[in-house]
């Protein structure tokens, strides 16, 4: 594993107050892609910045992000996105999520002055980062990546988070260099149960590279070849933040896809040995 990764990465998205319930216990922890992803990349040697929104009363939840060296810009929001995650079985892809409160959506003025080598959109719910801003942010970085959940996970009746197909995927996927999915998200986007075939279809919609996690490991598909690596055995308690850690680690090593996939699987496996973000 490289000790230094000379690049800047900007994460845009809400931090979350996560209430995680497994069959063993319930814990309340900070979460979201910008939390898990930025800490992992920072501990790998990248220089990370975060633009996020949460209530001023909840900022202490994110002290670990700041103490790791991540530069955080907290934008105004009266509320914090708070999500209850239920894992009813031993399969980490079986997750039932419910929103208890939502932070304020991002607006163009929030990202007007940004510029960064690599940018990751890590929204928690559809509409948090409005899709009409994707092309605008695309112009402000050399590499643009995103997690599918921010465009598929809709807040519906009684705060339930329900995955629904992205109506305008054909219009916007072309702006992404890397688009990350898991088994369920790939199926929602394509209707295809076979993950590799789903990756082919998503890549064919315009994104350059599809990064896909599943219970045993990770794939990357660039339109020509699949690059694969397996996870080591892990604990269900460490499942939250799996995809976020995988995506951010992959982005740090993107210049070599084979090494990027291997590093992503290695770091994600280590992170899933314990709850919370990657410890280094």
Question: pLDDT 10s per residue in the chain (280 long)?
Answer: 333 444 699 999 999 898 888 888 888 889 889 999 999 999 999 999 999 999 999 998 889 999 999 999 999 999 999 988 888 886 766 778 889 999 999 999 999 989 999 999 999 999 999 999 999 999 999 999 999 999 999 999 888 889 999 999 999 999 999 999 999 999 999 999 999 999 999 999 999 999 999 989 999 999 999 999 999 987 777 777 899 999 999 999 999 999 999 999 999 999 999 888 999 8
pLDDT at 70: 96
For 207-217, give one letter per residue: b (16+ CB within 10 A) or e.
Answer: bbbbbbbbeeb
pLDDT at 3: 38
Domain ranges for the chain: 8-271
Coil vs helix vs strand at 250? helix
Residue with tokens 């009684």: 158
C-alpha–C-alpha distance, residues 80 and 100, integer Å: 9
pTM of this structure: 0.91
Could you give the count of Cα atoms lying within 13 Å of 209 in the half-sphere of its Cβ?
23
Query: What architecture is the 8-271 domain classified under in CATH?
Result: 3-Layer(aba) Sandwich (3.40)
Start-to-end Cα distance in the chain: 11
C-alpha–C-alpha distance, residues 18 and 93, integer Å: 17
Task: Give the relative orientation of helices 33-43 and 242-252 as an angle to the nearest 10 degrees.
Answer: 40
pLDDT at 93: 66
pLDDT at 168: 96
Measured from the Cβ of residue 191, the count of other Cβ atoms closer than 10 Å reads: 10
pLDDT at 2: 33
- Residue 236 gets the label, from left (phi > 0), alpha (psi -120 to 50) or beta, of alpha
Coil vs helix vs strand at 184? helix
Contact 147, 176 (CB under 8 A): no
């Amino acid at each position: 594993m490289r000790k230094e990764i000379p690049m800047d990465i900007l994460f845009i998205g809400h931090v979350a107050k996560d209430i995680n319930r497994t069959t063993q216990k319930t814990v309340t922890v900070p979460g979201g892609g910008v939390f898990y992803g930025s800490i992992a990349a920072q501990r790998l040697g990248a220089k990370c910045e975060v633009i996020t929104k949460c209530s001023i009363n909840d900022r202490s939840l994110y002290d670990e992000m700041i103490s790791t060296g991540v530069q955080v810009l907290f934008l105004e929001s009266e509320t914090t996105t708070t999500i209850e995650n239920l894992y009813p079985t031993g399969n980490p892809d079986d997750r039932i999520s419910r929103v208890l409160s939502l932070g304020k959506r991002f607006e163009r003025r929030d990202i007007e002055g940004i510029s960064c080598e690599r940018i990751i959109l890590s929204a928690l719910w559809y509409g948090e980062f409005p899709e009409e801003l994707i092309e605008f942010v695309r112009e402000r970085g050399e590499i643009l990546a995103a997690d599918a959940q921010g465009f598929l996970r809709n807040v519906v009746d009684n705060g339930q988070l329900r995955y629904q197909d992205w109506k305008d995927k054909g219009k916007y996927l072309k702006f992404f260099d890397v688009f990350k999915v898991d088994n369920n998200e790939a199926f929602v986007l394509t209707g295809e149960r076979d993950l590799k075939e789903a990756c082919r279809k998503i890549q064919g919609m315009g994104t350059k590279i599809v990064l896909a996690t599943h219970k045993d490991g990770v794939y990357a598909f660039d339109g020509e070849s699949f690059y694969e690596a397996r996870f080591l055995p892990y604990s269900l308690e460490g499942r939250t933040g799996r995809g976020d850690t995988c995506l951010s680690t992959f982005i740090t090593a993107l210049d070599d896809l084979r090494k990027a996939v291997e590093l992503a699987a290695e770091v994600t496996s280590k992170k899933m040995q314990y709850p919370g973000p990657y410890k280094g």
